[in-house]
Structure 1
Amino acid sequence: MAPFDSVTARLILLLAETGSIGRAAEREGIATSAVSRRVSDLESRLGVVLFDRSAHGVKLTTAGAAYADGCRTVLRAIADLDAVMADFGSGQRGSLRLACTSAALTGRLPELLARYALKHPGIALDIQEMGAAKGLVALDEGRADIAIVSDNYDFTRFEIKPFEDDRVWVLAPPDHPLADRIEPRKDIAFEAVLSHPIVGSHHAGSLDRLLGDAATKAGKPFAESVRVESFPALVRMVEAGFGIGFLRSTSLHLLAGTDLVCAPLAEPWALRQLLVARRKSSPLSAAMKSFIALCSETYSPAV
């Protein structure tokens, strides 16, 4: 068998993620023919078919799924080896790769990173904005050292610490029927707002999943009037009167300059957190230790 090729391994994982040779080639900045040739050459050397190909794209075969799992293991090991070797240096240089949700980047994280960069000028920061699910995949595949994500995921494989409290709030225009019952100093029950049209956001995102699960348990499906893909767009659509909306507390700054009213949800499930997560099996580099310590020192639980 030919030596392990990390470039081809990353292409295999990218194809598994995108299901498209064209999208994988575009993401890697190479020709689609080059991607196809690498996969075909690898299949010939291995003597197995890794992907089922159709007009709709590509999908891993059973053998392909096993090979992709092996690629993740080897790439993680390579990433871990790099981290270990970095710690053999002076300790004054290194890198820290962060996978962060947009909620984290609109909360206290930017100020914290500025403090970290000032204290550790030799540490190069690689900050990648992505959804929580993709952030945890990035940890699994060794593409990130630390992820700052919402708390409603499976963290069995990860070591986690609280980063920031992030309660769920409801918002509405001042002339909405609910407006008289919505004020920042008073909790409001989730069921009290569910019968009103709702502006949905971030399909399959952490907040969407959280609210959808709560609505299902309450036996009252969402009455979505429209769905958007960003929180600024959600605020604008609520302003325009399309319905009420939901935001986490880290996004409430988006209400500045509007006349929208808001209130925290009363239910315990709405008392959420952002978490600092790392893979339990990954080496804990000096850069990671110092960042996690700073997060813990500066975390103040909500009263």
Structure 2
Amino acid sequence: MQSFDPLTARLLVAVAQLGSIGRAAERENIATSAVSRRISDLEVRLGVALFDRSVQGVRLTAAGQIYVVGCREILRTIADLHTQMVDYASGASGSLRLACTSSALSGRLPELLARYAESREGIRLEIQEMSAARALLVLDDGQADIAFVADNNDVERFETTVFEDDKVLVICSPDHVLADRLRSSRSVRFDEVAEHEVVGIHHSGALDRLLSAAAASSGRSLGKRVNVETFSSLVRMVEAGFGIGFMRSTSLHLLAGTDLVHAKLADHWAQRSLLMVRRPSSPLSRPIRDFLSLASASYLPA
């Protein structure tokens, strides 16, 4: 089957509208002989006559009428497609696909996305919450444009940018033996608090791995009476007196309305960051560029 030729189709529609090959050629700024040859070649390929020719001009045959209707539909589709691509190129349309950890969605990301969406109504946001390992896998498979993960994940093969500081905090109830120490200082060392019973979080998750490594390097093993899967559960268990807890600063808002005491860990390893991660070879569409620019411009290091 011969390929559809948009130029020949446009010329065919012009001839049908004007009833004259010469006037159509003049309007389309092409030689009359070239228009006539294109129509004749098309009729040979199709095996039907599209026009009845006479000294008064040309007139569509029954087959020609059907063909011209089809050409108009196809040309409209092409024009609409072009308009859509212009919108995508300008950033007026498109999509932004994000793979996010719960820590990312606990920080400034939701507010930033609201600002982004407010001025970009044509952009479709696809936001998925998942573990860091899953987020990087989804990114690798091309199912996400950007992943948000902690900086102690293996991101060497990716392009990374710091999204926000995500320092590790220690929290305790106001009647815990550590409460006065945490109240008296903005930061404490891990060794000062690690001997106390701990409420564990996200077993084998990024924070759990970080704390386990810190404990191992100091020759300790963390005493965990209970393990939970969410930071909101961690807060409740610490409130109930099951021990101290460790959480990231992006989740600090969960302490609102509680009387829990907190302080930052002073250790170098606890000065973490939340990263925006991309595949270096992935297309950088206008919606993605706009979001990266907004995120970078609004990042204020602590």
User: Scaled by the length of structure 1, what TM-score is found?
Assistant: 0.69
Contact 1:228 1:234 in 2 (8 A): yes
CA RMSD of aligned residues (A): 1.6
Who is 1:198 aligned against? 198
Aligned to 1:135, the other structure's residue is in SS state helix
Note if 1:116 corresponds to 2:116: yes
Who is 1:251 aligned against? 251
Where structure 1 has 5 or more consecutive residues not aligned to the other structure, the ranges are 1-84
Where do 1:152-167 residues align within 5 Å? 152-167=152-167
Note if 1:211 corresponds to 2:225: no
Aligned to 1:182, the other structure's residue is in SS state helix
**Offset of residue 256 of structure 1:** 1.1
How far, CA to CA, are the matches of 2:213 and 2:118 in structure 1? 42
Tell me the number of residue pairs that the alignment of Structure 1 and Structure 2 aligns. 218
1:163 maps to a residue whose letter is F
2:108 maps to a residue whose letter is R
Aligned to 2:293, the other structure's residue is in SS state helix
Where do 1:10-29 residues align within 5 Å? none
Aligned to 2:183, the other structure's residue is in SS state coil
User: Scaled by the length of structure 2, what TM-score is found?
Assistant: 0.70
Q: Deviations over 1:220-254 (max 9, x none)?
A: 01111111111111111111111000011111111
Where structure 2 has 5 or more consecutive residues not aligned to the other structure, the ranges are 1-83
Runs of 4+ in structure 1 displaced over 6 angstroms?
Answer: 85-88
How far, CA to CA, are the matches of 2:86 and 2:249 in structure 1? 37
How far, CA to CA, are the matches of 1:111 and 1:184 in structure 2? 32
Contact 2:89 2:286 in 1 (8 A): no
TM-aligned CA distance change 1:268 to 1:184, over 3 Å? farther
1:181 maps to a residue whose letter is R
Contact 2:174 2:259 in 1 (8 A): yes
**Offset of residue 186 of structure 1:** 2.2
**Offset of residue 258 of structure 1:** 1.1
How far, CA to CA, are the matches of 1:88 and 1:232 in structure 2? 42
Where do 1:202-241 residues align within 5 Å? 202-241=202-241
TM-aligned CA distance change 1:253 to 1:122, over 3 Å? same
**Offset of residue 283 of structure 1:** 1.3
Aligned to 1:142, the other structure's residue is in SS state coil
Q: Which has the larger radius of gyration?
A: 2
Q: Deviations over 1:75-110 (max 9, x none)?
A: xxxxxxxxxx96894432110100011111111111
Contact 1:188 1:266 in 2 (8 A): yes
1:221 maps to a residue whose letter is S
How far, CA to CA, are the matches of 2:183 and 2:250 in structure 1? 17
Aligned to 1:262, the other structure's residue is in SS state strand
% identical equivalent positions: 58
**Offset of residue 148 of structure 1:** 1.2
1:251 maps to a residue whose letter is S
Who is 1:135 aligned against? 135
